[in-house]
Amino acid sequence: MQAYLDSMMDLAGAREDWRPLARWAIAAWLVFYVFFLIYAFSMHGGYLFIDSANLVVHEGGHLLFSWLGQTLCLWGGTILQWAVPFLLAAYFFYQRQATAFVFCLFFFFENWLYTATYMADARAMILPLVTVGDPDLAEHDWHTIFSSLGVLQYDTTIAAVVRTLGWCGMLASVAWLAARLRTTSQS
């Protein structure tokens, strides 16, 4: 098993050094993340400017996964919305580009805040729905998903967990980049 894990680490390039970064560049990115975190926190779960991009990817996921049946079409919005930044983060991890890796990972977790807001609305269904199809056939993704799973009454609890994990992931991403600042030589 250890040999398999070692081969996977080698394949992923995880043993390679990260590409060098100037300390000022890391510091500038950290300032950006601190301002974004303050902005996101001040919105109290509201719509952030980046959520417009998340919405486009989400709706594209419904279209992309619609070829695979009704269930995957329904889940496809969130699947693609989470997959795009995650796969980009994986690519930049493989390329050993720290700032690009953290950017994608940070916004992967930021997507969880957006998803949590949508999940928390599953029973209330107050949020306006956006669809790429017939608006008369639009349905609330998370109302339908939670209803089919028998957990609709826990929508706000599930959303709170997802939101908390999103915040933890964003903070951990920034903390990892800050740790890189300590290990980077002066430039």
DSSP 41-107: HHTTT---TTHHHHHHHHHHHHHHHGGG-HHHHHHHHHHHHHHHHHHHHHHHHHHT-HHHHHHHHHH
Q: How distant, in Å, are the alpha carbons of 17, 87, 98, 102 from that of 184?
A: 12, 26, 11, 16
Whether 130 maps to a domain, the answer reads yes
For residue 33, pLDDT over 60 is answered with yes
What DSSP element (H or E) covers 26? helix 23-42
Q: What is d(CA 55, CA 4) in angstroms, rounded to the nearest whole number?
A: 39
21: in domain: no
DSSP-based three-state secondary structure for 17:
coil
Query: In this structure, is residue 29 part of a structural domain?
Result: no
Work out the average pLDDT over 130-138.
72
Q: Indicate the SS3 state at residue 108.
A: helix
Average pLDDT over residues 136-163: 93
Residue 42 in any domain: the answer is no
Count: domains in the chain: 1
> Mean per-residue pLDDT for 57-63?
92
Of 66, 48, 73, 187, nearest in space to 141 by CA:
73
Summary mean pLDDT of the chain: 89
| Beta carbons of 184 and 24 less than 8 angstroms apart | no
Contacts within 8 Å (CB) and 24+ apart, 78-85 = 78/115, 78/141, 81/54, 81/57, 81/111, 81/114, 81/115, 82/108, 82/111, 82/112, 82/115, 84/57, 85/111
Inside any domain, residue 10: no
Any domain includes 105: yes
Residue 136: what pLDDT?
66
Predicted confidence at residue 127, as pLDDT, reads: 86
Residue 31 lies in a domain: no
- What's the confidence (pLDDT) of residue 132? 75
Q: pTM here?
A: 0.87
- Angle at 68 (CA atoms; ends 54, 91), nearest 5 degrees: 45
Is pLDDT at 41 greater than 90 in this prediction?
yes
Q: Where in the sequence is the domain holding 54, given as residue range(s)?
A: 48-183
**For residue 42, is pLDDT > 60?**
yes
How many other CB atoms sit within 10 Å of the CB of residue 114? 22
Task: Tell whether 40 is covered by a domain.
Answer: no
